[in-house]
Amino acid sequence: MVVKAKVIAVDSFGSIVQFASGVKALCPLRHMSEFEIAKPRKKFKAGVELVFRVLGCKSKRITVTHKKTLVKSKLEILSSFADATDGLVTHGWITKIEKHGCFVRFYNGVQGFAPRSELGLGQASDIHSMYHVEQVVKCRVVKCIPSSHRISLSFNITPTRASEDENVKPGSLVSGLVVRTTPETVIVDINASSGMKGTISLEHLADNQGLAASLISLIKPGHHFDELLVLDIEGNNIVLTAKYSLVNSTQQLPIDVSQLSCHSVVHGYICNIIETGCFVRFIGRLTGFAPKSKAIDDRRSDLSEVFYVGQSVRSNIVDVSSDVGRITLSLKQSLCCSTDAAFIQEYFLLEEKIAKLQGLDREGSELRWVDAFSICNIIEGKVHEIKDHGVVISFEEYNDVFGFISHHQLAGTSMKKNSAIQAAVLDVSKIDRVVDLSLKPEFINRSKKESSTIKALKKKRKREQKDLEVNQIVNAIVEIVKENYLVLSVPDYNFTIGYASLTDYNTQKLPHKQFTHGQSVSATVMALPAPATCGKLLLLLKHLGDGVDTSSSKRARKKSSYDVGSLIQAEITEIKPLELKVKFGSGFYGRIHITEVTDDNSAESPFSDYRIGQTLASRIVSKGSKTKNIKGGHGCELSIKPSLLKGSGEPDEGLPSEEFNYTYGQRVSGYVYKVDSDWAWLTISRDVNAQLYILDSSCEPCELAEFQNRLRVGKALSGHIITVNKEKKLLRLVMQAPADACGELDEKNYDRRLTCHLVEGSTVGGRISKILPGIGGLLVQIDQHQYGKVHFTELTDSWVSNPLSCYQEGQFVKCKVLEITRGVMGVVHVDLSLRSAPDASRDLGSSELNGGMHTSIQHVDKITDLHPDMVVQGYVKNVSSKGCFIMLSRKIDARILISKLSDNFVENPENEFPIGKLVVGKVLSVEPLSKRVEVTLRTSSALKEPKSGNNPVDHISVGDIISGRIKRIQPYGLFISIDHTNAVGLCHVSELSDDHIEDLETQFKAGEKVTAKVLTVDKERNRISLGLKKSYFKDEEVQASPGQSHDSAIGINDTIMLDEPTVTSQRNSASMEITNNESDNGHQPILADAESRALVPPLEVPLDDMETSDIEGDVGQTLVPVTNADTTAGEKKKRGAKRKAREEREQEIRAAEERQLEKDVPRNTDEFEKLIKSSPNNSYPWIKYMAFMLSLADIEKARSIAELALKRISSQEESEKLNIWVAYLNLENEYGNPPEEAVKKIFVRALQHCDSKKVHLALLEMYERTEQHKLADELFGTTVRKHCNSCKVWLRRIQSLVDRKSDGVQPVVNDALKRLPQHKHIKFLSKTAILEFKCGVPDRGRTLFESILRQHPKRTDLWSIYLDQEIKLGEADMIRALFERAISLSLPLKKMKFLFNKYLAYEKSTGDEKRIESVKAKAIEYAENNLA
């Protein structure tokens, strides 16, 4: 900070200054001026007030500066290592200058270092000529490591041009054009036209030192490098490398310490060698150190004799210390051997490149001569010279190319000078223009194409070569020993020629192992012939992984091992359906189980992205015994789960617990490893398996029939646990989530556990075990040892004559569980249904009733659903001479007397009504208590019955007071059966009471005795209108029934009608359906809204077309017009006019309501489409459309509607879109496969378009509603991390815990108080306390209120809420004690008046006069004291 201070003393070491507050500080001599001053007292005189900037405070001593640049600096202040962010520009002062750079200090003792390359000096410039100690400099932070207190600085404020290019940075690949060369360096123009220059040193031209020296001598300006790796940027100089090992492994090279993991093998290069070890550099300045003990297998060797500066090496990461940035490496060949043929591949590619550069000076720049000497081709030549070690061959067409045949390749053939020969090509040295030849018969014969026999051998050879695969181990024979590699032949594959390197990256300077001609070796196929390999088959010798055969290396190899938890680099050697075989280190082998690839076993084909030879970062999770099929190898269990690879590589870090901890109902995932006819076995983890029974895999018969084909080996499956066997580590799974009601089941309840996942109403798969004789139904297997019974009436959707004909034993069926009962001995009985829609009605089919009328027969499950005159259908159960019994459903039987069996005489009931016959009849009577139902099969009984001569309506007149019982209650009024008659009248809701009635069913009950007044009698329309208003009985002696004191709307035309006739014509049936069902089905808003329209009468129900034959049923209730004989003609005329006006008004209302009905309730897709087009931004019709498609079981169509809605609804209508997302989430939660993943995908999409908090809360509410508590808990963790400041989120969590009666409320409250802003604490705590009072533990609520009031005792609103909760709880002592505390507070008079009034109101509600007076007295006393 900048302050003003007064100089109070000046000395040789500086000056003492004093601030205005009296605090003293020291201004050192070097900080008294920008430059060195000889006479400080001349400027700093006692009493002078100057401006200073505080440098720091240490040991209660404050230091300030008067340097003008620092005092007036507007740049950011660097006062701690944490403030040193990359790119920060600030002022500092130089404290020390050395050859390699400057040390710069900042405030509070913070110090950094600027290397020479960042000082902006030339190559020959002296640092002291440009900078001096105590000079103020402007510098830029390049890199900071706060943990080690290191800051790298640069005096170049703007980054160099090289670093400004985003494509040119350490670790990036660039191209370059050679500008000029020196004996040790190649200077290139990066990216050809960017103007940036880079340098490639001799050591970085190639991994092979000899080829690098040859290459630099041939490179000329204009040569183009396709791929160069940027190693570092030193000022304006960009350091590049052309090493294939570094360029090809760019993605794996680390730039930072955090990217390294222990036991991984990384490419690098040696940047320095000292006596105690080697320094290996990667990208930038990231450097590791390999101590001598870890650098070579033989400690007696000198490091300078084993390695050279710039050598490419493979290093094994032994230890990483992120705090100090220290990396410990091992360069031992036994741990760092190559796992591919990249080293020799680069050798051949560079050899070809050098040969092409050599050819530029010749006429044929292209290597055309090489095409004539393809490997294994037969070439003709002439013996040019015979030497001691072999024969030199010349070629007529190529004078500058010579061939050579060693004695081993002569195969005993004698040679003469100038004699012509035919030999096979084994190797071509493009640089030396020498071809190695062989006269062995196996090479000569394999290339001849003279006869059909040879052609057949060619086909056989092609077939054999096709079998040669990468990573295959073969036996080979040494044919030629070259300086850097071996030429090998593979006898098992028709003597195919291959090439193997004698050295590796780390053993280039070491003497290689000696080989002899004809020696047999073991090698691994690394690469097949291709342009990238110069057309050569590349092999890897097995001995390269062993390093130098010394006693110390053998001991090291014997002791070398990997701890459990170590991170390693493993190479895939074999891919199996359920595991990956890998190798790593020096002769170590292991496997990666299929469950160790992903964290949740959700990937369908987890091995599809891997290939043989690929290197994977893996973690050792366990060690096994020696692998049986690999001699001398150790079998380790590895894992490549992303969650396990996050650690730093320390042993045992991040390893999951291997405890067998599985619970009932838990959802697990695994992969199928075995399938038979009834069972599928899954692997859940390396040690845990699971079983899935065929009937638990699906409920669809077609899927059950394809069980073995559908569940192939390696298929991913998810299921829920129903049994756990800890000894065998075996689980039993089902696909559907089991019921939570089973709780924790022990082994004693094993049988119960097996059937606990069966829930009434659930759909399960079954297999017909037995067809029971007669009408016994079916016995269906639904579990391994559990069977269910299908009743005869539950076999088919429609009523058919022989329902068992379409089933056979062994057939798979889809069942619905109707009922589960347990016997006394614990036997479980399950009732099933094979009907696809058990609650739907069945068509009568071919059976007809009442003259061919088609009727919908409803399936009856309860006896209360039956009523007289109802048409029913059933199967004959038993027949006797007195009649028969029929089955209406699995629980309801009906009796048919012999006189009711037919309209005609039945001579032999057993023959005409055999057991199992399908019959149609009509209910005569129902006795629910005794469960007796009587049915008739006669169809003409109603027509033959004589009409009644007495009309009961004739005895009823307008103004009569009648008594009766309520027959039925509808929203628009009451139907009343009039005593001593068969007539039924309607009392409209407007005539029930003088006061308005909200809910009829709460005021009236069916069967209740009432007294009513006859208001109108319509003889033409067969209707009687009644009234129950008290005003109708003022002048009458009869009193109205108690409970009828309700008001309604104005009176309307009330009607009298038949009590629900069932068998009517289609026209009458339609009109009756409107009257009886308009409030039940919810599709008629006309009468349901009658109460809210006080002056609008409800829809009139026309019954004019009702025929007398239909009215006069078995019950005997008839409707006839009733007139009053004493009514005058004038009164009739007035009533007729009123009735006509009323009818016209009702017709207008009915037409309007019907139009509204057609608009609001679409019945097909076309109507829904029209509705959506009219209001595309309204979410309600979209959701209704989705629900409509779900009712048709078209799930995919419902999904497509949801997607279309999300596209159509405007982005500005956020709330409407949110409604669609919530509906979509509910759909996937119900029908997704699997639901959890489907919901998660929709949830992630919703977050991108809607408010994050609203979406999180909506999903939380869905999980809680569907009781998916585990998912709700996981989601809350995510929600609270993103919205920790939202009070609503925390309250949602509290609500969930309270509803579940959980004890974890208090920890959540504590966590919320830590994260919520202070101003939200009162709101959160008060609402949490209210939740505890309502649904949880009141004592916890009291504790929360007390904690709030302790801090805010004068908040009357909090007192009021607290008192309200106690009053609702009803503990009088607690309530009064709390009131006494409240009125004893010292608050403003207005607030105290509120508390006294609340206290008084409570006491009045209890009715205790003494306490009421006591409260009044206390209020008066408080007022007097306050006024005094």
How many other β-carbons are positioned within 10 Å of the β-carbon of residue 843?
Answer: 15
Of 346, 349, 367, 347, residue with least CA distance to 358? 367
In this predicted model, what pLDDT tens digit does every residue of 791-817 receive, in sequence order?
A: 999 998 888 888 998 899 999 999 999
Residue 1311 has pLDDT above 60, yes or no: yes
Predicted confidence band of residue 41 (pLDDT cuts 50, 70, 90): low
pLDDT score of 1062:
31
Q: Which value, to the nearest 10 degrees, does the dihedral of the CA atoms of residues 153, 159, 162, 166 take?
A: 110
- Looking at every residue in the chain, the average pLDDT score rounds to 78
pLDDT score of 90:
93
CB 427 within 8 A of CB 536: no
End-to-end CA distance of the chain: 57
- Enumerate residues 6+ apart whose C-beta is below 8 A from 849: 855, 871, 920, 922, 939, 1063
Predicted confidence band of residue 1049 (pLDDT cuts 50, 70, 90): very low
Tokens 């005792």 sit at which residue?
1353
In this predicted model, what pLDDT tens digit does every residue of 616-651 receive, in sequence order?
A: 888 888 876 544 333 334 578 889 888 888 765 455
Overall average pLDDT of the 169-197 stretch: 83
pLDDT score of 315:
92
More confident residue, 1161 or 1070: 1161
More confident residue, 231 or 235: 231
Strand 842-843 and strand 49-58: the pairing is unpaired
Predicted confidence band of residue 942 (pLDDT cuts 50, 70, 90): very low
In this predicted model, what pLDDT tens digit does every residue of 1139-1175 receive, in sequence order?
A: 777 777 666 665 554 545 444 567 777 788 888 888 8
Q: Positive or negative, the Cα torsion across 4, 9, 13, 18? A: negative
pLDDT score of 887:
92
Residue 91 has pLDDT above 90, yes or no: yes
Residue 1321 has pLDDT above 50, yes or no: yes
* Among 500-514, 563-577, 740-754, 1410-1424, the least confident range: 740-754
Cis peptide before 1234 (omega within 30 of 0): yes
pLDDT score of 1037:
44
* Among 196-210, 336-350, 367-381, 533-547, the least confident range: 533-547
More confident residue, 1033 or 477: 477
**H or E segment to which residue 1141 belongs:** helix 1129-1160
Distances (CA, A) of 888 to 918, 998, 1039, 1225: 10, 39, 46, 41
pLDDT score of 448:
59
CA distance 405 to 386: 10
More confident residue, 840 or 774: 774
**HSE on the CB side for 746, CA within 13 Å?**
1
CB 1285 within 8 A of CB 1318: no
Predicted confidence band of residue 269 (pLDDT cuts 50, 70, 90): very high
Residue 1015 has pLDDT above 80, yes or no: yes
Residue 1314 has pLDDT above 50, yes or no: yes
CA distance 656 to 92: 50
In this predicted model, what pLDDT tens digit does every residue of 862-906 receive, in sequence order?
A: 888 888 989 999 999 999 888 899 999 988 999 999 888 887 778
Question: 1356-1382 burial, b if ≥16 CB within 10 A, otherwise e?
Answer: bebbebbbebbbeeeeeeebbebbeeb
CA distance 270 to 252: 18
Of 279, 335, 617, residue with least CA distance to 504? 335
In this predicted model, what pLDDT tens digit does every residue of 689-714 receive, in sequence order?
A: 999 999 888 889 998 999 888 888 88
Beta-strand (E) ranges in 29-124?
49-58, 61-65, 89-98, 101-105, 111-115
* Among 214-223, 508-517, 934-943, 1069-1078, the least confident range: 1069-1078
Of 34, 36, 39, 14, residue with least CA distance to 25? 14
Q: What's at 998, amino acid-wise?
A: E
Overall average pLDDT of the 1344-1371 stretch: 84
CA distance 730 to 660: 10
Q: Which of 136-150, 840-854, 1064-1078, 1296-1310 has the highest mean pLDDT?
A: 136-150
In this predicted model, what pLDDT tens digit does every residue of 731-766 receive, in sequence order?
A: 999 888 876 545 444 444 544 555 666 788 888 999
Which pTM was predicted?
A: 0.42
CB 162 within 8 A of CB 238: yes
Overall average pLDDT of the 1327-1342 stretch: 84
pLDDT score of 646:
75
More confident residue, 1193 or 1357: 1357
Is residue 989 helix, strand or coil?
helix
CA distance 1423 to 1428: 8
Residue 1322 has pLDDT above 70, yes or no: yes
The 8-class DSSP code of residue 735 comes to: S
Our measurement of the distance from residue 311's CA atom to the centroid of its chain's CA atoms, rounded to an integer in Å, reads: 48
**% of the chain with per-residue pLDDT over 90:** 14
**H or E segment to which residue 1004 belongs:** none
* Among 155-164, 454-463, 571-580, the least confident range: 454-463
**% of the chain with per-residue pLDDT over 70:** 80
CB 1048 within 8 A of CB 1096: no
pLDDT score of 531:
85
Residue 653 has pLDDT above 70, yes or no: no
